[in-house]
Amino acid sequence: MTNPAIAVRAGARVSIEVINAHPDTAHGLVITASAVTSGMPMMTAQPAFPGSALWFPGNPAAAGMHAGTLTFTADSPGTYRYLCAVPGHAQKGMTGTFTVN
């Protein structure tokens, strides 16, 4: 799946493992309440929930990939957006919807 629409129940404990298969490009994942994907998301995107941001998956693994996990509680119903926080990446399509209901 590419940029799947994600939906969870309100109050759910959410854990997302992020794997960056680009050995030489940083990426991140932020679930944000902001609908804005222009400008510089890294500077403007605020996490919608405490812990719902993984800025730059680091710690290169033996395979050369970068991985990280973000964990948070989706405690407020609403329609959110996830995006890659690296400038320019969300505009290139690294974004999708995250719904809490």
Task: Figure out which of the listed residues 30, 94, 95, 100 binds Cu ion, where binding follows CB under 5 A.
Answer: 94
Question: Nearest to residue 66, comparing CAs of 31, 29, 30, 18?
Answer: 18
Is 81 among the residues that bind Cu ion (CB under 5 A)?
no
14 versus 94: smaller Cβ distance to Cu ion: 94
Given 20, 31, 89, 100, the residue binding Cu ion (CB under 5 A)? 89
- From residue 32, how far is each of 51, 59, 98 by CA, in Å? 11, 24, 9
Is 86 a binding residue for Cu ion by CB under 5 A? The answer is yes
CB of 101 to Cu ion, least distance (A): 27
CA proximity to 100, closest of 8, 13, 3, 5: 8
Total residues contacting Cu ion (rule CB under 5 A)? 5
Residue 19's Cβ-side half-sphere holds a number of Cα atoms within 13 Å equal to 5
Residues that bind Cu ion (CB under 5 A): 27, 84, 86, 89, 94
